[in-house]
Amino acid sequence: MVTRDGNTTRRTVLKLTGAALVAGGLGAGPASAESDDDWTEADVPSDVELSGTAISSHGPVAAGEGGVVLARRVTGWEPIIEVGPTTESNPLNDIAVTDDGRHVWFAGGSGVIGRYDVEAHQLTDYSAPEVEDEDGDTSEKTSTWEALDVAGDAGEERVVLANGSGEALPGELTDDGGVDWGTVIEPGAGTTITGVALYERDAGFVADSEGSVYETTDGGESWSEEGVYVAEVGLEDIAAAGESDATAVGESGFIYEYNDPGWDEADVGEETVLAVSRNDGDGLAVGASGFVYERTDDETWEETVQPAESDLRGAALGTDGFLDVAVGASATAIEQGSYPEGTDLPQTITLSKEVPAPIEYTLEVNGEIAALDADTEIEDGTVEGTLGNGDEHEFAFDGRIDDFEVSRGPLPQLNVSVNGLEVSPLRLSDREWSVVDVPIGSALYGAAAASSPIAAGEGGRVLRREDGEWYVVADDGPTGNESPLNDAAATADGDVAWVAGGSGVVGRYDLADDELEDFSAPMEMTSTWEAVAVGGDAGSERVVLANGSGEVLPGEYDGESVDWGDVVEPGGGSSVGGASFLDDATVYVSDTNSKIYRSDDAGESWEEIGIDGGSVALTDVAASDDDVHAAGGDGSTFRYNGAVWTKKAAADGELLGVDRRNDRGVAVGASGTAATRRLYGWEADETPTDAELRDVVLTDDFLDIAVGGEGTVLERDRR
């Protein structure tokens, strides 16, 4: 089912007899309703087949070939997802939205399922769910999803998916961002299900290619046949405006209206009707050869216009003031109606501050922007403003925030919310990396965000940064044998940093005493330590060491010595590449077998939490309050929301290190590769080096530091 909206609290849709569009496509302006001939074909910035469309709270969205998801902005269509939820470019066959329009769901080939939050600009991957069938057998569903629909508001929604084998799968979103999948059931006899339409959170219909419709009233746990008893053709789609008000469409121009207990038949032509959308009494259907059909006031259907020649496979009636949209083959998108403008634009950004000094800023968007509560200058999507004492500037906008810069005043002291969600202003701002001088020319492998940042590397060298300068605090490590130091980590208060590396070397550096203490070869282990993580404050910190044999050693510092625990092998012996404490008890490690393990007892015991289906060596892991990120050897990052992992292509080169602090994030890797977690996801950075970057840390005072080969240190002051 491409779209459904039975929520009468939302705006009454534009009648299909409305609206003259100004020229459609990229750069097109808003439209207004006038005549039957007002459908306009828009430019689409992706040469793909589009299979479905729906209306989100930010406007029309569409999905299709190659995993692309497009959003209609005031200036035209633009991609918001280019390669699907798994980054594998599997085709997306259907798209639907929650009742409030915030969550957009889509599904398609190879079992891909995704959800995109248009308010938070966050993608979550639910592909290939492991589910149980009616016989109690469990399997991973990688078959092609042909149709889906969703009901309920974002965060409380229920989704139903259906495939070409005639199976329907219900799922309910959980509090931790996962999905509680139900049982796979065949409503009929295994015939391809072509459409799903939920008229309530727990009730709705499916239609199949044999001309049958089935209904559930218990959230997809059971189904009963409801017709179409007069159907002469296979059905292509179904839409529902209520319990006894549904429309099914199919081959040879047939449209069937359900008015419990029976079905009425309409023949609107010879072309197959491929998609239908309903909203209360209104209806829009589209089909082969670009034909459009309208549900009239007397509840009959008529062929109206043929604004395009390509097959139209998805239709959505505009809600909340947005356009009516249909999409289809050959990257076709046709539109009718109006788009919000001025202060009615769908997104908001609010700026305020906590310091008395004025802050001068420039805000740029790639669409339109209008002031809701600000005395500012706005021109061509750019705002130049000054926040004074007690000021709060609020804007309505459309599209993406391209940049946010502060020319006067402290950027980190700004309070920023986008669509009502608090966001670090640093995620809106772009800053350049710079190469800084250090007193060595040997490789640096690890860094720690201590109160004075620490770096460690080849030859056992340890460097410290103070007052903007780097200096050497140890030439040959804690043992004096010049074994390389592969990683560094700091206590929560930043007073102590731990380093670890070759030949079992382990050191504890007290920044206040400027003393590097030796704890090497713990439990007589002299293997090479690849990662170290530290939790808690100095004096009572917990330490986790990990090596290339997949072994993890936990320890607890008591002020003088370390009480080392038992060696544990969380996985199958693959090399551990990264370790990160979330707090003084919760710690994560990543390995080269694409696995992540979590311990809730500071490393004494472990459980595998992913990554299912992963095929990339994971080189590092970083935990923050809202989620966990891992860095991949193929330039990808993986985000864990507490329930599922979502992959994101972040950079072209191999990633070797990642760090998180609050909602900020940076990853670095081979050949000067770097990527930053911005408002719309991970984006590649330009850096002034080709050196291999091995580690990165984010400091409390908004300094990003990356270290790597030949004594390379990059810094980025994000204030």
Query: Half-sphere exposure of 390 toward its Cβ, with a 13 Å CA cutoff?
Result: 0
Query: Is it the case that residue 2 has pLDDT exceeding 80?
Result: no
Q: Are 494 and 537 in contact (CB under 8 A)?
A: no
Q: What CATH code would you report for 40-336?
A: 2.130.10.10
Average pLDDT, the chain: 92
Asked whether this chain's domains 40-336 and 434-717 adopt the same fold, the reply is yes
Q: What is the rounded CA–CA span in Å between residue 91 and residue 79?
A: 15
Determine phi and psi for 413, rounding to 5 degrees: -85, 0
Return the bridge partners of 618, or none: 632
Q: Give the pair of three-digit tokens for residue 349.
A: 């950004």
Decide if 542 contacts 554 (C-beta within 8 A): yes
Identify the band that residue 674 occupies on the pLDDT scale cut at 50, 70 and 90: very high
Distance CA 314, CA 406 (A): 43
CATH superfamily of the 434-717 domain = YVTN repeat-like/Quinoprotein amine dehydrogenase (2.130.10.10)
Q: In the structure encoding, which two tokens stand for residue 662, read together? A: 């609050």
405, 407, 413, 416 alpha-carbon torsion, rounded to 10°: -30
Nearest residue to 200 (alpha-carbon basis) of 212, 217, 225: 217
- The CB density around residue 439, as the number of other CB atoms within 10 Å, is 11
Q: Which residue has 């534009």 as its token pair?
A: 14
Let me know: does 369 contact 419? Beta carbons within 8 Å: no
| Amino acid at residue number 549 | S
Tokens of 592: 């080269």
From 178, 160, 183, 342, select the one nearest 238 (Cα to Cα): 160
Can you give the pLDDT at residue 357? 87
Contacts of 166 (CB under 8 A, 6+ apart): 186, 187, 188, 189, 190, 191, 192, 193, 208
Phi, psi of 85 (to 5 degrees): -70, -20
Looking at this protein, which amino acid is placed at residue 150? V
What's the pLDDT tens digit per position in 183-198?
999 999 899 999 999 9
What ranges make up the beta strands (E) of 339-400?
347-353, 359-365, 369-371, 377-379, 382-387, 392-397
pLDDT at 652: 92
Nearest alpha-carbon partner for 237 in 217, 219, 251, 222: 251
Domain boundaries, the chain: 40-336, 344-427, 434-717
Q: How many Å is the Cα radius of gyration of the chain?
A: 28
Pick the more confident residue, 319 or 301. 301
Q: What is the pLDDT of residues 429-487, one digit of tens each?
A: 888 999 999 999 999 999 999 999 999 999 999 999 999 999 999 999 999 999 999 99
CA 383 from chain centre, in angstroms, equals: 28
pLDDT of residue 62: 98
29-41 pLDDT, tens per residue? 333 333 334 899 9
- Bridge partners for 713 per DSSP: 707
Nearest by Cα to 104 from 112, 94, 335: 94
Distance (Å, whole) CA 461 – CA 477: 6
Residue among 692, 595, 615 at smallest CA distance from 653: 692
Average pLDDT over residues 294-320: 90
Binned at pLDDT 50, 70 and 90, residue 390 comes out as: confident
Cβ neighbours of residue 210 closer than 8 Å, sequence gap 6 or more: 188, 189, 191, 234, 235
Asked if residue 294 lies in contact with residue 301, where contact means CB atoms within 8 angstroms, the answer is yes
DSSP per-residue codes, 161-203: EEETTS-EEEEEE-TTS-EEE-EEB-SSSSPPEEEEEEEETTE
pLDDT at 16: 28
How many CB atoms are closer than 10 A to CB 591?
A: 26
Q: What 3-state DSSP class applies to 489?
A: strand
Q: For residues 157-163, give the mean pLDDT.
A: 98
Rounded to whole angstroms, how far apart are CA atoms 472 and 454? Answer: 10
pLDDT of residue 718: 82
- Using H for helix, E for strand and C for coil, what is the string for 37-59? CCCEEECCCCCCCEEEEEEECCE
Whether the predicted pLDDT of 21 surpasses 60 = no
Q: From CA 153, how far away is CA 103, in angstroms rounded?
A: 8
Mean pLDDT of 119-140: 94
Neighbouring-strand partners of residue 385: 361
Tally the residues of the chain.
Answer: 719
Q: Give the C-alpha separation, 113 to 105, whole Å.
A: 7
C-alpha–C-alpha distance, residues 377 and 383, integer Å:
6
What distance in Å separates the CA atoms of residue 264 and residue 287, rounded to the nearest whole number?
20
Residue 26: band (very low, low, confident or very high) from pLDDT cuts 50, 70, 90 = very low
- pLDDT at position 3, please? 42
* Residue 659 contacts residue 672 (beta carbons within 8 Å): no
**pLDDT of 214-236, one tens digit each?**
999 999 999 999 989 877 899 99
The answer on pLDDT for 419 being more than 70 is: yes
Instruction: Write out 549-561 in H/E/C secondary structure.
Output: CCCEEEEEECCCC
Report how far residue 214's alpha carbon sits from residue 204's, in angstroms, rounded to the nearest whole number.
Answer: 8
Tell me the mean pLDDT in the region 524-546. 97
How does pLDDT run across 265-275, given as a tens digit for each residue?
Answer: 999 989 999 99
6 — alpha (psi -120 to 50), left (phi > 0) or beta?
Answer: alpha
Percent of the chain as helix, strand, coil, to the nearest 5: 5, 50, 45
Measured CA to CA in angstroms, residue 562 lies from 318, 519, 527 at distances of 65, 8, 18
- Residues 668/418, Cβ–Cβ less than 8 Å: no
What is the predicted pLDDT for the residue at 482?
95
Structure token pair of residue 398: 């459309």
Peptide bond into 401 cis (omega under 30): no
Q: Tens digit of pLDDT for each residue in 548-591?
A: 999 999 999 999 999 999 999 999 899 999 999 999 999 999 99
Instruction: Write the DSSP symbol of residue 268.
Output: -
Is 610 within 8 Å of 632 (Cβ atoms)? no
Q: Work out the average pLDDT over 327-351.
A: 95
